[in-house]
Every structure is written in C-alpha cells, then in structure tokens.
Amino acid sequence: MYLLEQRILRDGIIKEGDVLRVDSFLNHQIDVKFVNGLCSEFYRLFKDCDVTKILTIEASGIGMACLTAQFFDVPVVFAKKSKTSNITNEFYSASAFSYTHNNTNNIIVSKAYLTSSDRILIIDDFLALGGALTAMLDLCEQAGATVVGAGIMVEKAYQGGGDKIRSRGIRVESLAKIKSMDSNGIEFC
C-alpha cells in the first residue's frame, strides 16, 4: 500500500539488529487517523469472508485490531503474553518467539472467546519470522476456529515468515512488504 510505504520511508528508522522502528505512528505513538485508513484496507480485502472476530496479540496489535473491528462490526480478542491473576485457567496457550524483543512468550486466550464457530481475521503490526502469527494460528487450531486470513501492516518479506505461513494455505495480506532493508534504505516488494 503506497501510503504506508511512503510513511515508512519518511518516518521509519532502521536500528541495529535489523529492527525497523515505526513507533512514531504505528506502535508507540499511534497516528489513529492514518492507521484507521490502513485498517479500512483490511476491510476491503476481507469483507466477504464472514469474519466473526478479530484476533491480535498484545500490545501493539490492539489499537489497529479495534480500529479494524469497527469496519467489520465484530469484537476483538487479544492474546495475552502471560498468565495474569484475572484470567481464568481455562485458556488456549501457545509459544511465540518475538524477533523484535528477542524472547519467547507464552500467549493465551480464554477458551470462552475463541470457539469452533468463529471465523477469525488475525491482525498484527509486524510479520518477520512469523512467530506471533504462527502462535495465533495455533490458538485458532486448538479452538477449532476457521482462520480467514491475516492482515499485517509491515511484513519483512526477506525474513521468510510470511511465505512459510502462506505455504500452509493461510491467506496473508501485508500492506507493506519489505524486500530488503539496510543502511542504504528500504526497498519494497
């Protein structure tokens, strides 16, 4: 999506460790009007898929998931990164490696909020190695839910996570796909 690519070129900052920082508009400070426009694109792409619920993962996916949910008129469920005292023991659980944070999280969703009658659209900000997305797909599989696809803001395509998941037959739509990224700049697919 041209608008997002241009914004990444303007405001994205490449950090050591192959990290792209877009926290001025996407995942620390959120330019809500701009992100809402991106979310409308997820609606265009998935509007005929009978989505019943949007699944994301805390923390930075939540804002865009809620904005996207307004177009679909469905609820959001966000996977939590650890077991907390106000979550029931009745949950689905999966492991997710985070490239950005270089750690592995246990993510959980209450069984009550992910069921076999759900048709799930997964929304997330980044797709690199695919750890978070794979874990969310795992949660959906445990629930017997149908995954209609995943809407991703920024895919670092050269890291291969997206294509690995596509090869499983999962529809993955990324609004910006980075082909290469280094100190000379960013090239999109």
Q: Which residue in the set 10, 84, 182, 183 belongs to the binding site for its own copies (CB under 8 A)?
A: 84
Q: Which of 148, 118, 145 has its CA nearest to residue 42?
A: 148
Report the nearest approach of its own copies to the CB of residue 17 (Å): 6
Long-range contacts of 27-35 (CB under 8 A, 24+ apart): 27/60, 27/125, 28/60, 30/63, 32/63, 32/67, 34/3, 34/7, 35/63, 35/64, 35/67
Q: Which residue in the set 51, 76, 96, 165 belongs to the binding site for its own copies (CB under 8 A)?
A: 76
Q: What is the largest CA-CA distance in the chain?
A: 49
Q: Does 30 participate in binding its own copies (rule CB under 8 A)?
A: yes
Q: Which of 65, 49, 69, 4 has its CA nearest to residue 145?
A: 49
Q: Which residue in the set 49, 62, 129, 186 belongs to the binding site for its own copies (CB under 8 A)?
A: 62
Q: Does 80 participate in binding its own copies (rule CB under 8 A)?
A: yes
Q: Does 47 participate in binding its own copies (rule CB under 8 A)?
A: no
Q: Does 58 participate in binding its own copies (rule CB under 8 A)?
A: yes
The answer to whether 123 and 54 have CB atoms below 8 angstroms apart is: yes
Q: Does 183 participate in binding its own copies (rule CB under 8 A)?
A: no
Q: Does 146 participate in binding its own copies (rule CB under 8 A)?
A: no
Q: Does 23 participate in binding its own copies (rule CB under 8 A)?
A: yes
Scanning 15-23, 138-146, 161-169, 179-187 for contacts with its own copies by CB under 8 A, the matching segment is 15-23
Q: Does 29 participate in binding its own copies (rule CB under 8 A)?
A: yes
Q: Which residues contact 30 (CB under 8 A, 6 or more apart)?
A: 63
Q: Which of 16, 20, 48 has its CA nearest to residue 179?
A: 20
Q: Does 36 participate in binding its own copies (rule CB under 8 A)?
A: yes
- Half-sphere exposure (CA, 13 Å, Cβ side) for 44? 10
- Closer by beta carbon to its own copies, 48 or else 73: 73
Per-residue binder mask for its own copies (CB under 8 A), 85-124, x = binder: xxxx-----------xxx------xx-xx-----------
Report the nearest approach of its own copies to the CB of residue 95 (Å): 18
What is the DSSP secondary structure assignment for residue 145, as one 8-state letter? P
